Structure 1
Amino acid sequence: MSEPYFFGYGSLVNRQTHIYTPAYRARLSGWRRAWKHTQGRVTPFLTGIRDEGSAIDGLVAHVPGGDWAALDLREEGYDRHAIPSGLVVEGDPALAAQVYAVPVVSMVVQDDPAPILLSYLDVVVQGYLREFGEVGAHDFFATTDGWDTPVLDDRAAPRYPRAQVLTGSETAFVDARLTEYGVRVV
């Protein structure tokens, strides 16, 4: 296919946060996720990082009208990378896509790291639960680094601009994983 597609591995897995269709479940080898702090941002980003021994699930979606500028604006702070190999897409194994990742040069280490927004994490996990079930959501946690970063409980007043309402079971799943991973919730 010559149409432009992107691979989303975080909030873009949650179809409620975007209008990008068609979208297909996919797996990208040679990558994993990490929570990273960057210059000019208070809260950490979820980013893809290259890791030859890992693979992550996500969605591949069409870039409407080939308008990368609009998607680049949503993904401000990330660079876009062509995926030369390692992408397996449900429904179209030959589909080519690009992936967004925070540039290494903009990553910073904070002595007292700012917390991950729980409203952001909730959106991501809700997407994984709905697309890949509990197994896929467990895999999200297992293939993501940075769980030593605290999480800010902002559910009552979400700070994440694309926050979603979770079901009781989705909320319980997120909370149980945070406990399992020893994440400090503030």
Structure 2
Amino acid sequence: MTDAFFFGYGSLVNRATHDYGNAHQASARGWRRVWRHTALRPVAFLTAVPDPDTRIDGLIAGVPNGDWRALDAREHAYDRIDLTELPDHPLPFPPRVAIYSIPPGKHGTPTMAHPILLSYLDVVVQGYLREFGEAGVARFFDTTDGWSAPILDDRAAPHYPRHQPLDPAETTLVDDMLARHGAAPVALTS
């Protein structure tokens, strides 16, 4: 067992997108999610930004043998930062945890040229639903900024490489939460 953990707050909350074992629900104080894009990726993703008044849910999972290479490759647009405020976790010891964040000055607001993929958001919401229930999905939306960003509806032909199928109830939940936050996906044009 390793004592190195990562804190996932987006697609890494969905256990179907990775095979990192020793995963546990947790929350991190002092962070907020925001939709951003970076020149290193063609579409927008979630990043975590410091916010002393916010606490976000997520998963911590062990990094096998403390070898960060595979996870760093998956999160190549982000910097890995040591996380100091992890108040809620089930481990019997204080874990050494890192969070991935796109550094200030290296990201921008999503645009139609760099939209949010609905297939990515679906994966994230599915993960939060499975881990934290509908209340956790609501907290995810409430502790994430940038819902005015363009969201590309790619469900019929997902562009996100780790997309997962959603059942009808999950799809309805995503759509209802987007509507509640004033967000409307735009159709994928060919």
TM bin, normalised by shorter chain, reads over 0.9
Equivalence for 1:4: 4
Aligned partner of residue 134 in structure 1, secondary structure: helix
Aligned to 2:82: 82
SS in 1 for 2:149: coil
Q: Which residue of 2 aligns with 1:63?
A: 63
Percent identity reads 52
Supply the distance in 1 between the matched residues of 2:86 and 2:100 (Cα, whole angstroms). Answer: 15
Structure 1 residues 104-183: aligned runs within 5 Å: 104-109=104-109, 114-183=114-183
* 1:183, distance to aligned residue in structure 2 (A): 0.7
Deviations 1:131-156 (A, max 9, x none): 00000001000000000001111011
Q: 1:93 to 1:174 in 2, by over 3 A?
A: farther
Deviation at 1:112, TM superposition (A): 5.2
Alpha carbon RMSD of aligned pairs, Å?
1.6
TM-score, normalising length from structure 1? 0.94
User: SS of the residue aligned with 1:104?
Assistant: coil
Indicate the residue corresponding to 1:32 in structure 2.
Answer: 32
Return 5+ residue gaps in structure 1 as ranges: none
Q: Which runs of 5+ in 2 are unaligned?
A: none
Q: Give 1:146's aligned amino acid.
A: G
- CA deviations 1:110-147 (Å, max 9, x no partner) are 66563200000000000000000000001000000000
Whole-Å separation in 1 of the counterparts to 2:165 and 2:25: 22
Residue type of the alignment partner of 2:81: H
CA distance in 2, matches of 1:94, 1:40: 33
CA separation of 1:169 and 1:112: change in aligned 2, threshold 3 A: closer
Question: Is the 2:47–2:102 Cα contact (8 Å) retained in structure 1?
Answer: yes
